[in-house]
Chains A and B, each alone.
Chain A
Amino acid sequence: MSGRIAGLDDATRGPRELIEFTFAGEKVTAWAGDSIAMALWAGGTTAVRSSSKNGSPRGVLCNMGICYECLVVVDGRTVRSCTTPVRAGMVVEPGGRP
């Protein structure tokens, strides 16, 4: 089970801001500062797209913007979910290509 490491909050700032967005039509709760990939992963979603060639599920591989395996579509644009920060109300759909 994936999730969040407890007790990392900065006491001087109070609890972190929660953000909501949707992925494939489902509501996802994230923390401000999350990447799309990490918000999904913490919520248990590891597959973010299917390969357009053989249809197999794919997700994060490198988590640092190198591999382009975690592509998703945000507002019609294909982006790397591991380097794209979440925004409130963002509509995220599974990516297609590479």
Chain B
Amino acid sequence: MSVDDTILDADVGIVGAGPGGMAAANVLAQAGLSVVVLDEGMRAGGQIYRQLPEGLVNHGKIAEPPSHDGGHALLERFAAAKVTLVSHATVWDAAPGKLWFEHGERSRLLRCRHIVLAPGGYDRCVPFPGWTLPGVVTAGALQVMVRGFGVVPGRRALVAGSGPLLLPTVTALLGAGVEVVAALEASSRWRALRAAPAVLGNALKRREAMWYARQLWKAGVKLRWGWTVFACEGDGRVQRAIIGKVDADGRPRRGTELKLDVDVVGAGFGLVPSVELALRLGCTSRFDAARGGHCVVVDEQQRTSVPGVFAAGEICGIGGAEVAAAEGQLVAEAVIALAKGSTVSAEAQRRAQKERKAADTMLRAFAPLPGLAELARPDTIVCRCEDVTRLGAQQAAQLHGDSLRAIKVGCRAGMGPCQARICGPSLQAMATGDGRRAMDLPVVQVPVKPVRTETMLDAPT
């Protein structure tokens, strides 16, 4: 079998080369199973352990938190493992035992006895006036710029949002020599204190928290609790940001606004699990607001409701790299158990449970704040693909019903190429004014990600 074959065969097909996918691949390969990993990125690592392009070396220029030691170890093992990695692979459809993907402008198929889904997650966006201006990006986008490409995002940056990922965004910017004008966490300090048990009870998280505190202190950056970005302004690109205080529910407190001159803004309000492929496969999911939205349900061995389909990491609920790596190890043992009749180690199960429990405690303190939906004004664009405003979505909800599907039919919101990945998490909250309601299941259609028409027409079977 060559990587360039139109049809690839393997014992196990893994989607995603982040910590979960890499950890699983390393263990599976060691057990002698053939493994193909499909990943959309340019190199292995996923978003959290994103590597610079070939030929660039960090040289310690961009400071890395203590947890990244684990990432380097995973990457080294993965590079040495007998695993076939297909980068630049966009998986657009799946059935038990089959993963269809586009790679090198060609339609390809991976046939595998077992599927392990570890596609990670993506930034949760909250629409606010001016968020479509060039220069306003997600928090994750800024990390990719700095740690993935060695690009300096701008001169003066604002970082706003919620959750633990704001901190690596700030330190990445500092590493790139960017002045971080403000770092805003929407949760109050008191709410965030609920994360304390998770930090205090975990040696790595303790070290991590101390490391970030020291980095911010050295740079003179103060994290402002209970603040967020209200709006961005500029002529053709972002030039100013208006920030202000929010109440305990995240509702903007008008009258507290301050104006800042900035040339780049990173906004990230937590992460959303990437469940689309799993839903396409028919896996059972459940809504868990603190874990980021719809999550794939797995049993104590990372098995989904569909035989032969396993899941690890963010897809089972946002939890971070340590959860993903632990679940990746466990998922590999579960696949090996099925393939070879062995048993899953108690140690792997215990570790995955421990990491997941700590992550859940942490994330409950940063669960999405429903009041942030009020940042959008009636004329603020909510769905960027179709340029649907908040008012447009509201009118559609009144006319057609307030499910995501009805709003989509009524005003095209969510019908564009992002397939509601960007607007979906906030669309319903904004259209109905009820941010606490569990959001509808996303409508998953083939292709799960846009690919060329020829790719679908030429799909091998």
Contact = CB atoms under 8 A, between A and B. Distances in A.
Interface of A: 1-5, 7-11, 13, 16-17, 31-35, 38, 41-42, 46-48, 51, 53-54, 56-69, 71, 77, 82-83, 85, 97-98
Given A61-B137, A68-B417, A33 B56 contact: yes
Contacts of B62: 5
Interface in B130-149: 132-138, 140-142, 144-146, 149
Interface of B: 40-42, 47, 52-59, 61-62, 88, 90, 122-123, 125, 132-138, 140-142, 144-146, 149-155, 175-177, 236-237, 263-264, 381, 384-387, 416-418, 421-422, 450, 452
A8 B134 contact: no
A34 B452 contact: no
B138 to A, nearest CB: 5
Given A42-B149, A61-B137, A61-B384, 8 more contacts: A1-B154, A8-B52, A8-B61, A51-B132, A54-B381, A60-B134, A63-B140, A98-B386
B152 A46 contact: no
28 contacts: A1-B152, A2-B152, A2-B263, A2-B264, A3-B152, A5-B152, A8-B52, A9-B56, A16-B55, A16-B56, A33-B42, A38-B145, A38-B151, A54-B387, A57-B237, A59-B134, A59-B135, A60-B137, A61-B137, A62-B137, A62-B138, A62-B141, A63-B145, A67-B421, A83-B88, A97-B417, A98-B386, A98-B418
What is the interface of chain A mostly: helix, strand, loop, or mixed?
loop
A49 B155 CA distance: 23
B425 to A, nearest CB: 12
Contacts of A59: 134-135, 137, 237
A63 B50 CA distance: 12
B237 A42 contact: no
B147 to A, nearest CB: 10
